[in-house]
Amino acid sequence: MSGLLAGKRLLVTGVITDASIAFSVAKLAQENGAKVVLTGFGRMSLVERIAKRLPEPAPVIELDVTNQEQLDGLADRVREHVDGLDGVVHSIGFAPQNALGGAFLETTWEEVAQALQVSTYSYKSLAAACLPLMQAGGSIVGMTFDATKAYPLYDWMGVAKAGLESASRYLALHLGKQGIRSNMVSAGPLRTMAAKSIPGFSDFEDAWTQRAPLGWNLTDPEPTARAVCALLSDWFPATTGEMVHVDGGYHAIAA
């Protein structure tokens, strides 16, 4: 066995289809020597079917990150497949329909709270649930969409992503003493199932393809997956609380 992640044991969340960023991460990780366990929510039969398309079919654990009972039992369920974890990938996000699309001023607290619990607080929840399986050298990586700017129609999901990025920095602070890193990868827009649920997503597509200095491929998640795998590896042993942009350089260009 050889590769960047040789011998690593990874938990990857958020695989829905083979176009998912998480699927590309899982595939690349396996190709680089990792043992991968997936989590799924809702459409479990779909996730299990997609898991069989990986180079090595991966076990799938059901996980609702808002269900404390499932979080409490996660470590034991992971142990059924691997004896510990070296890395965790958080690729989870959700916002009710009224929290996106321009209704920012009308969105209720109940709708905002749901978006924040699933998209932001779950990063801490997932990390805490996995800590019994991790040791020094471990790495937690989350997926974000650069929240340093306000994007039309992204609304409360943008707020949730800002909280997610902050949560990663605080995890870096609190887990550093255990030798565990926390970092974010900020990807440009990709045509995933999650993206299709965002009203006006084509506006993001047009902006990136026209302005990203390196150009931007809307259908290729592999550059993003490579960044995630690099952060999961031992090649960034002193990097934590960071956000790596994989967006063709769009974030660096003035409007």
pLDDT digits (tens, 9 = 90+) for 91-133: 999 999 999 989 999 999 999 999 999 999 999 999 999 999 9
pLDDT digits (tens, 9 = 90+) for 22-67: 999 999 999 999 999 999 998 899 999 999 999 999 999 999 999 9
134 in Cβ contact with 182 (< 8 Å):
no
Confidence (pLDDT) at 191: 72
Confidence (pLDDT) at 82: 98
Q: Flag whether pLDDT at 255 surpasses 70.
A: no
Confidence (pLDDT) at 197: 63
Q: Flag whether pLDDT at 251 surpasses 70.
A: yes
Catalytic site residue from 121, 154, 170, 177:
154
Catalytic site residue from 35, 123, 161, 250:
161
User: Strand pairing of 87-90 and 60-62?
Assistant: unpaired
> Which amino acid is located at 28 in the chain?
L
Confidence (pLDDT) at 194: 64
The distance of Cα 67 from the centroid of its chain, to the nearest Å, equals 19
Confidence (pLDDT) at 202: 67
Measured CA to CA, the distance from residue 1 to residue 33 in angstroms comes to 6
Confidence (pLDDT) at 43: 83
Confidence (pLDDT) at 207: 82
The secondary structure of residue 191, as a DSSP letter, is -
Is 161 annotated in the active site?
yes
Q: How confident is the model at residue 153 (pLDDT cuts 50, 70, 90)?
A: confident
Q: Is 253 exposed, middle or buried (0-12, 13-18, 19+ CB in 10 A)?
A: exposed
Confidence (pLDDT) at 151: 86
Is 27 annotated in the active site?
no
Helix (H), strand (E) at residue 204? helix 201-211
